[in-house]
């Protein structure tokens, strides 16, 4: 299934995408795409619904973040060997973990706001892993049983805030609008191999990133297991698993986003995003 949230920011409704790409309203069956709705039994119940029996959503509504109530937005740094090489950094012996503020989460096509004082706002297309049930001390072999599904994530980064202003990376990762997710949550049964998905990103129509989850150092199952050793993972938590090469800071000379730019990105089978870049005034 492809589960979606649509409508004005803060008042999104739950839906699913039918075989013709139309949004079907799920409001009579669930209150939102969040919490217990992401559990395996609940997803199986939704999968039994006949999409044709659900109301068609008319018009072209805004698409919201694909999951509501995210408690933790966990990101993995330097998780692609080819991306680590372009940044001049070594592949870490264990995953680099940092948090992105949940207030950064927006819809996949909402405006991307460059924060005040920013000169190095950068792009990163990533595979998002959405937790479906509480995971604590789980094995790698069992880890994907705790996953509800996958989504496209744009891990927007302000590099000067991230690396030049001391402290942790979080301050360069958490600005408002720096976490577009969606357009939909694709349940794991539709993703045969999360470690074999093409991913891409364009700025103003020019391809900047053209990679694959094949080059991830630490795969989705490992990351769920690894993180669960340090903290419990809860339904709705998102793990953003790192980016392939082609980010702005890796170019010579570096290239960063500016007001007026348009960013488009996507992950194979998980849908695409489009953001217009504007100054946050």
pLDDT at 59: 95
| Residue 166 clears pLDDT 80, i.e. is over it | no
Q: Which of 51, 3, 55 is nearest to 25 (CA)?
A: 55
Averaged pLDDT of the chain: 95
What is the C-alpha separation between 95 and 97, in angstroms, rounded? 6
Q: What is the pLDDT of residues 110-138, one digit of tens each?
A: 999 999 999 999 999 999 999 999 999 99
What is the C-alpha separation between 104 and 216, in angstroms, rounded? 24
Burial of 196 (0-12, 13-18, 19+ CB in 10 A): exposed
pLDDT at 131: 98
| Residue 6 clears pLDDT 90, i.e. is over it | yes
What is the C-alpha separation between 162 and 40, in angstroms, rounded? 37
| Residue 1 clears pLDDT 80, i.e. is over it | yes
Strand partners, 99: 74
pLDDT at 159: 93
Which residues contact residue 58 at a Cβ distance below 8 angstroms, ignoring those fewer than 6 apart? none
| Residue 25 clears pLDDT 90, i.e. is over it | yes
| Residue 180 clears pLDDT 90, i.e. is over it | yes
Q: Could you tell me the pTM of the whole model?
A: 0.96
Q: Average pLDDT of 54-63?
A: 97
| Residue 97 clears pLDDT 80, i.e. is over it | yes
CA dihedral 180, 3, 75, 258 (to 10 degrees): -10
Q: What are phi and psi of 275, to 5 degrees?
A: -125, 135
Band of residue 158 on the pLDDT scale cut at 50, 70, 90: very high
What is the CATH T-level fold of the domain 73-279, as seen in this structure?
Fumarylacetoacetate hydrolase; domain 2 (3.90.850)
Q: Indicate left, alpha or beta for 46 from its phi (over 0: left) and psi (-120 to 50: alpha).
A: alpha
Looking at the chain, the whole-number percentage of residues with pLDDT higher than 70 is 100
pLDDT at 247: 95
Burial of 110 (0-12, 13-18, 19+ CB in 10 A): buried
Q: Average pLDDT of 193-205?
A: 98
Band of residue 233 on the pLDDT scale cut at 50, 70, 90: very high
| Residue 82 clears pLDDT 90, i.e. is over it | no
Q: Which of 58, 158, 175 is nearest to 106 (CA)?
A: 175
Domain ranges of the chain: 2-53, 73-279
Residue 62 DSSP one-character state = P
pLDDT at 107: 98
Q: How far is CA 206 from CA 170, 201, 212, 245, 247, in A?
A: 28, 8, 18, 15, 13
| Residue 54 clears pLDDT 80, i.e. is over it | yes
Radius of gyration for the alpha carbons in the chain, expressed in angstroms and rounded: 18
Band of residue 105 on the pLDDT scale cut at 50, 70, 90: very high
Q: What is the pLDDT of residues 238-279, one digit of tens each?
A: 999 999 999 999 999 999 999 999 999 999 999 999 999 999
Q: Average pLDDT of 148-177?
A: 91
pLDDT at 99: 95
pLDDT at 58: 95
Q: Average pLDDT of 81-104?
A: 85
């Amino acid at each position: 299934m492809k589960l979606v949230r649509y409508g004005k920011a803060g008042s999104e409704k739950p839906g699913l995408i039918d075989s013709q790409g139309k949004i079907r309203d799920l409001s009579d069956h669930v209150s939102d795409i969040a919490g217990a709705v992401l559990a395996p039994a609940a997803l199986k119940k939704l999968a039994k619904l006949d999409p044709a029996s659900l109301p068609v959503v008319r018009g072209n509504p805004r698409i919201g973040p694909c999951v509501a109530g995210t408690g933790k937005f966990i990101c993995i740094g330097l998780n692609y060997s080819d991306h680590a090489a372009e940044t001049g950094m070594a592949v870490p012996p264990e995953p680099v973990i940092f948090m992105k503020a949940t207030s950064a989460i927006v819809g996949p096509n909402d405006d991307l706001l460059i924060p005040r004082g920013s000169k190095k706002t950068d792009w990163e297309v990533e595979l998002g892993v959405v937790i479906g049930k509480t995971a604590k001390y789980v094995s790698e072999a069992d880890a994907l049983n705790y996953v509800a599904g996958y989504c496209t994530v744009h891990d927007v980064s302000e590099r000067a805030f991230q690396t030049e202003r001391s402290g942790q990376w979080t301050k360069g990762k958490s600005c408002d609008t720096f976490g577009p997710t969606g357009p939909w949550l694709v349940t794991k049964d539709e993703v045969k191999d999360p470690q074999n998905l093409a991913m891409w990103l364009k700025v103003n129509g020019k391809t900047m990133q053209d990679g694959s989850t094949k080059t991830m150092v630490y795969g989705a199952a490992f990351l769920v297991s690894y993180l669960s050793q340090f903290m419990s993972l809860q339904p709705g938590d998102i793990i953003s698993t790192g980016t392939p090469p082609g980010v702005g800071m890796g170019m010579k000379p570096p290239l960063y986003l500016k007001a007026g730019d348009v960013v488009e990105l996507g992950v194979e089978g998980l849908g695409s995003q489009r953001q217009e870049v504007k100054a946050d005034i």
